[in-house]
Amino acid sequence: MIDAIIGGEVIKTATKAIVSLVSEARFHFKEEGLHSRAVDPANVAMVIVDIPRESFDAYRVDEEKTVGVDVNRVYDILKTVKKKDLVEIKIEDESHMKVKFGSVEYTVALIDPSAIRKEPKIPELDLPAKIVLDAGEFKKAIQAADKIADHVIFRSDETGFYIEAEGDIDKITFHMGEMELIEFNRESARSMFSVEYLKEFVKIAGSGDIVTIHLGNNYPVRLIFDVADGKLKVEYILAPRIEAE
Amino acid sequence: MICAKCKGRLLCGRKKCPFLVKFRFRRNVEVGEIERPTPPSVFVGRIGYPKVFAGPLIAMDYDDPEFLDSPWLWKGSVEDVMALRMSLVRGMKVCDVRKEDGFVETLREAVASIRHVEIECGIVKVVEKPVFDDILQPMGVSAKIDGLKLIENPKIPKKVEKVWNDEMKAVEGVGYLFDSGFSTYYIQKLFSVGILGIERRMVPTRWSITAVHDLLGESLKREIAGFESVNDSMLFSYEHFGNRFKILITPGEFSFNLIEVWRKGSFWSPKSDWIGIDSETIRRKKRYSDLGGGYYAARLPVLEFLRRIGRKGRVFVVREITPEYYAPLGVWVVEEGVRRALERGKKVDEEVVGGILRSFEIQATLSDFCRE
């Protein structure tokens, strides 16, 4: 028996983060909170969602449990939930999950977890640069880049952090120096990424949220978003595009 | 306009004047009643949509009408295809794509047939205007018609009747018929006259061709997504009608990349060489390709091939268009070219392929970075 109550914004954002890559995922209800992770079918990006126990208004897990959820459907339903609404998630047996908000009770069949694509190993990554900035600013940069190009370069050196995109006749440079960044270790790194993925990732972020970027050289990037007043941690790992020699 | 000034002296740099060639093969048609076969073939225009010109293509003098609409059998030169197609008269009548009247029903029955059908109709007016199009196959003169009748029974396959009568979505109908082994050309015709789908409406032929390529392509992509990658690189090639195809498939996640090289003097690029590229990953392609309908026509046979071998991979298709292709014949040139290339493939040396690949930019996957 699982019975948890959580703020509407937290659960809505968590499911939104997952549906940016996959439509079904395994939810692990653990002692310390809810954990889920998945890779997209092309194996290019991974999403890791963690809602710690403290972020729930109530959290009762009699026994740690893993269930398979059609996240697409659940997210569709949760779209109508307001930020401040409370949502109750209840699993009484293996077969169904109940999602209650206001006077609505939504019941959805669970999926056999073994029928969902195997969960990825989290790659061990050696990423020298650490950049922390306002997620809203980051979102603006990605959305602007999307207008002109299908890939962007993330670059950092002692002068700051850069996002660069080049179209056929135009280009965009986003630059933040040490003073504007929340945290920065001045390390040099450079990798190129597909905007198609990034623009999906930034959808969960708003102004005031924080994103932590771990960047390497022609290496996957880790983007850690602290959203919903810090109650939710969403981490994305995205494989780079490797340039011509 | 240079053509008016030049009058066939080839000032444009093309190898032959498409207008003159077309004129030479043109058949004369006169006002009056005719009884002739349709291969079957149909044309639905797009100008004035939703009120468009639609009607059968009528074979004026040919003893094998089916051949006139069977691109997979065509061989030879651009001129040979033009000669074939010019013997087809485009019958047309103004139709609202949403309206179903006797004319539309008759047209549907004729088009659903897998053998040629003798038809009878009145020719009201002859319109002489050249039709050149990158997606469509060429056609002869146009004629306004009325009183369309079939004078023999069409031969309609059971599976087509099923799709026609059942409430089946267009996308499901297209997939069902394709998996049953019907050619894309036949499915496109059915799609165009509005036999597929719950809300039946006619679709301009030009749109229907790309729509069918795209629907089938996207659904095949979902099928191959879970396959293992090819083990070794493969290289294929084929050339017809002045179009040279080279296809390279290398190990990795699925991606499709089309590179088009229009050599100086080919139809759309008389003055200089032109190179265009477009690509996609396993995700649904969002925007219509800058390379036009040929992009989707090239992608489909590649996906068919991958499904047949049960593998996925990174696919690069290079289409080089030479001046021999001085008049556009339609996207079937691409679809058949790629299909034929893949049917006679050969493996190549890994090192050679590695060398070619280094000039591309590649999306890495997470497994490239996982330590075992």
* Per-residue model confidence as pLDDT tens digits over A6-31: 999 999 999 999 999 999 999 999 99
In chain B, where the domains are located:
23-150, 161-224, 228-369
From A61, A83, A114, give the residue that closes a domain.
Answer: A114
Read off the pLDDT of residues A136-172 as tens digits, 9 standing for 90 and up. 999 999 999 999 998 899 999 999 999 999 987 899 9
Q: What ipTM was reported for this prediction?
A: 0.81
Domain containing A195 — which CATH number? 3.70.10.10
Q: Give kind and range of the element (H or E) at residue A222.
A: strand A221-227
**CATH no. of B23-150:** 2.40.50
**Domain for residue A18, yes or no?**
yes
**Domain for residue A195, yes or no?**
yes
Please indicate, yes or no, whether residues A65 and A141 belong to a single structural domain of this protein. Answer: no
pLDDT the model gives residue B345: 58
**Domain for residue A233, yes or no?**
yes
Please indicate, yes or no, whether residues A87 and A149 belong to a single structural domain of this protein. Answer: no
* Stretch 225-264 of chain B: residues touching chain A, C-beta under 8 Å: 225-226, 253-254
pLDDT the model gives residue B6: 66
Residue pairs spanning A and B at CB distance below 8 A:
65
Please indicate, yes or no, whether residues A61 and A139 belong to a single structural domain of this protein. Answer: no
Which one is predicted more confidently, B94 or A122? B94
B101 touches chain A (CB under 8 A): no
Nearest Cα residue to A216 out of A125, A141, A121, A123: A125
Number of domains within chain A: 2
Please indicate, yes or no, whether residues A198 and A230 belong to a single structural domain of this protein. Answer: yes
Integer Cα distance of A134 and A114 in angstroms? 38
Integer Cα distance of B286 and B271 in angstroms? 32
Is residue A27 within 8 A of residue A94, CB to CB? The reply is no
Helix, strand, or coil (residue B129) = coil
Confidence of residue A83 (pLDDT cuts 50, 70, 90): confident
Please indicate, yes or no, whether residues A138 and A79 belong to a single structural domain of this protein. Answer: no
Q: In this structure, how many other beta carbons lie within 10 angstroms of the beta carbon of residue B245?
A: 24
Please indicate, yes or no, whether residues A61 and A133 belong to a single structural domain of this protein. Answer: no
Helix, strand, or coil (residue A189) = strand
Per-residue tokens: B292:
């036009």
Please indicate, yes or no, whether residues A148 and A209 belong to a single structural domain of this protein. Answer: yes
Nearest Cα residue to A14 out of A31, A30, A33: A33
pLDDT the model gives residue B271: 72
Q: In this structure, how many other beta carbons lie within 10 angstroms of the beta carbon of residue B64?
A: 12
From A66, A84, A114, give the residue that closes a domain.
Answer: A114
**Domain for residue A121, yes or no?**
no
Which one is predicted more confidently, A218 or B139? A218
Confidence of residue A84 (pLDDT cuts 50, 70, 90): confident
Integer Cα distance of A178 and A162 in angstroms? 11
Structural domain that includes position A94: 2-114
Please indicate, yes or no, whether residues A143 and A186 belong to a single structural domain of this protein. Answer: yes
Integer Cα distance of A26 and A202 in angstroms? 22
From the options 3.30.230, 1.10.10, 1.25.40, 2.60.40, give the CATH code of B228-369: 3.30.230
CB-based contacts of A119, cutoff 8 Å, min separation 6: A26, A37, A38
**CB neighbour class for A107 (10 Å; exposed up to 12, middle 13-18, buried from 19):** exposed
Please indicate, yes or no, whether residues A107 and A163 belong to a single structural domain of this protein. Answer: no
A122 touches chain B (CB under 8 A): no
Q: What sign for the dihedral angle of Cα B284, B289, B292, B297?
A: negative
Q: pLDDT means per 10 residues in chain B (372 residues)? A: 63 69 68 89 90 92 86 88 86 91 93 93 81 70 90 92 90 94 95 91 93 95 92 85 90 92 76 84 88 94 95 93 86 94 66 51 75 54
CB-CB: which of B359, B366, B369 is closest to A39?
B366
A118 touches chain B (CB under 8 A): no
Residue from B223, B363, B370, B371 to probe the interface with A (highest A Cβ count within 10 Å): B363
**Domain for residue A39, yes or no?**
yes
B282 touches chain A (CB under 8 A): yes
Cα-atom radius of gyration of chain B, to the nearest Å?
A: 22
CB-based contacts of A191, cutoff 8 Å, min separation 6: A153, A154, A215, A216, A217, A218, A219, A220, A221, A240
